[in-house]
Amino acid sequence: MKQSVKLIAGNWKMNGVAGSLAEAEALKQALDAEPAACRVAVCPPATLIDRVATTVKGGAVEVGGQDCHVEVCGAFTGCVSAEMLTDAGASLVILGHSERRAGFGETDADVAAKTEAALAAGLEPIICVGETLEQRQAGDAVAVVSAQVTGSLPESLSGEAFAVAYEPVWAIGTGLTPTLEQIEEVHGAVRAAMVARLGEGGRTAPILYGGSVKPSNAAEILKVAEVGGALVGGASLKAADFLGIIRAV
């Protein structure tokens, strides 16, 4: 199976104020001094995208948003469009994170529509899928995740840069991780669902793993078949921790 270059993306979630720019600066400087063997991205809250993009400009760090609206502009109080993310300096966007699916009622159809909006704005979507603990305990993890892939990837997707992130909900922010065998099983199923949905276009986009990734477990997770990178939450907030994961590639 052809593997593209790995992508390590940090999701700062609703964390970060002006002081956090020092972490972005530290990350840039470290990667300037010793380039990474992978792509590196940080996804700060919308309020910081512009300033983080300015801070890392000229270096290897890419910047992403954490969500976008399906519309380009209009009366949608509190929302940010894909075009606005591009304008602020983002080149990627996380879509369908389980915290948005659970907390804001986002469906697979919503995620597919947002994916189309993101692509139209020139953004590279990172489309998140993952099962809950109840679904895993019921033996439904592969079926649930495969259905999410099918529903969240627009059929029209072909040739554009995108990634899928497998993030078991029960592993997010808990310190728990699936076994390497479980990760391999689901990533294989995600790939199969991508190919079934998109044909050849589903063969090469990276499938990231997310959920309690840290410097101490990154190397073994990143070696698993079909793991094309990581989507990192808590351990991306401090440059030193994030670099520990980046250096594990």
Ligand X SMILES: O=C(COP(=O)(O)O)[C@@H](O)CO
Q: Using CB under 6 A, which of the segments 22-30, 54-62, 109-117, 233-241 binds ligand X? A: 233-241
Among 186, 205, 213, 239, binds ligand X (CB under 6 A): 213
Q: Which of 48, 92, 118, 172 binds ligand X (CB under 6 A)?
A: 172
Neighbours of 74 (CB within 10 A): 8
Among 132, 131, 149, 232, smallest CA distance to 189 is for 149
Q: Which stretch binds ligand X (CB under 6 A): 81-89, 193-201, 207-215, 216-224?
A: 207-215
Q: Where are the alpha helices (DSSP H) in the chain?
A: 21-33, 46-56, 82-88, 98-104, 108-120, 133-137, 141-152, 180-198, 215-222, 239-246
What counts of helices (H) and strands (E) characterise the chain?
10, 8
The residue of the chain with the least Cβ separation from ligand X equals 233
Residue recorded with tokens 């076994």 = 179
Closest approach of ligand X to the CB of residue 173, in Å: 4
Of 84, 79, 85, 51, the C-alpha closest to 65 is 85
Which of 44, 178, 228, 233 forms a contact with ligand X (CB under 6 A)? 233
Binding-site residues for substrate: 11-13, 173, 212, 233-234
CB of residue 115 vs ligand X: minimum separation in angstroms? 16
Q: Residue written as tokens 């990178």?
A: 229
Beta carbon of residue 152, minimum distance to ligand X (angstroms, whole number): 15
d(CA 99, CA 142): 20
* Minimum distance from residue 127 beta carbon to ligand X (Å): 12
Structure tokens at 153: 């990837």
With CB under 6 A as the contact rule, the residue among 62, 83, 167, 226 that binds ligand X is 167
Q: Which position among 99, 167, 187, 226 bears the catalytic label? A: 167
Q: How many residues bind ligand X (CB under 6 A)?
A: 14
Q: Tell me, what amino acid is at 221?
A: I
167 is catalytic: yes
Q: Which of 23, 97, 124, 160 is labelled catalytic?
A: 97
According to DSSP, the residues that pair with 101 across neighbouring strands are none
Tell me if residue 69 is catalytic: no
Positions in 75-114 near ligand X (CB under 6 A): 97
Residue 63: both structure tokens together: 């910047």
| Structure token pair of residue 162 | 């995108």
Among 198, 234, 248, 249, binds ligand X (CB under 6 A): 234
Burial 2-15 (b: 16+ CB within 10 A, else e): eeeebbbbbbbbee
Min separation Cβ 2 and ligand X, Å? 25
At 199, which amino acid appears? G
Residues in the site for ligand X, rule: CB under 6 A? 11, 97, 167, 172-173, 210-213, 231-235
Give the residue numbers marked as catalytic. 97, 167
